Structure 1
């Protein structure tokens, strides 16, 4: 079973969670690339928010309605966000941002009543390891790099928000501790550590089997949405 096949299966399963009339957050990356056509094929009436120009472009080409998430007049919350991950730990902590879109991805995940992570089996790890993606303020960049010490700049364009994309390369044992340190470092706009409190479900494909792993989500949006809906069985799909 190829990893690409697993990505497709996980994405197609997640597409079945989307219902007509929903406001949907669309992630970025190779697994989301399988989600977009699966959503388009269902022909639902959706309003979508994209986390990257690449996702927005592909979604529009497939006939999916994408609206802006910028400014004070944008939609304030989404029904569901579906996105991939680079690493998923048993605790529910994620590393995201291999594609450099983690700032937007985190904003869209936080705005959703339900954040569903779709991965192939190789993304499940015993513990998170570096690198951890970063988005850094270009102003004062040299001083920020000195404060962080273990960081590597990527040779890529600035983010849509004008941030410098980099990776934290230092070893760490506790993702929560590192997340707090990075968040409190002046010049760090965002990092790619996503806490379990953001995550509702992880959908993982292992060979031909697709599993749903529920993750405890204790924030206000989780309480608002109520109990997690059941994962659709193969007969439902």
Structure 2
């Protein structure tokens, strides 16, 4: 196993694990293995109960749940928990929904570990944009509809800068907005103001890959109204690929 080279003998080890978008069967084999080996599991709100049940029954389970506009445990305290548990010599799993490096602050947490010379590894997960759209029958790219795809956070950027909307407003592009429900009106205004057709197709995928999954479809101009019907966690997908949902949806909820 290859890890970061900074390591102190007799110290613990941290595995940053992406749990995937919701369906427990989408957890990777390596993710499954390290969760079972962990002595401490530090997990977020979006990690399913089915995945948590895979942990060693003797493991210490630490909930640091995050949801929109509320963090049960502030990020700096989460970082400190990881450091303290590793310094106790424990095998620690930091378990996040989706993929830890896509709007998951995984990089920030690893920076803290690296600064303290704590050994770590990264176990990628299926990000929500890939998993939820696949379960909704919406290909992110398609030769007839979209030649590129971009992932965007709906949250305000840390330094307050605005998104480069002009680069996003391209009709042959697929846009996937994470955490964007509350910003749906702003997203619609900005995209149309920068030239994107208000009639372009879009979708909202709620609880993607889970048995509670719901898909709302309409035009970009209708996005704010659609968002009122949906609940977090949800993805907003803007682009003509969303038209394929009716033809390609395959996921049958129980």
Band the TM-score falls in, shorter-chain normalisation: 0.3 to 0.5
Structure whose CA Rg is larger: 2
What is the TM-score normalised by the length of structure 1?
Answer: 0.37
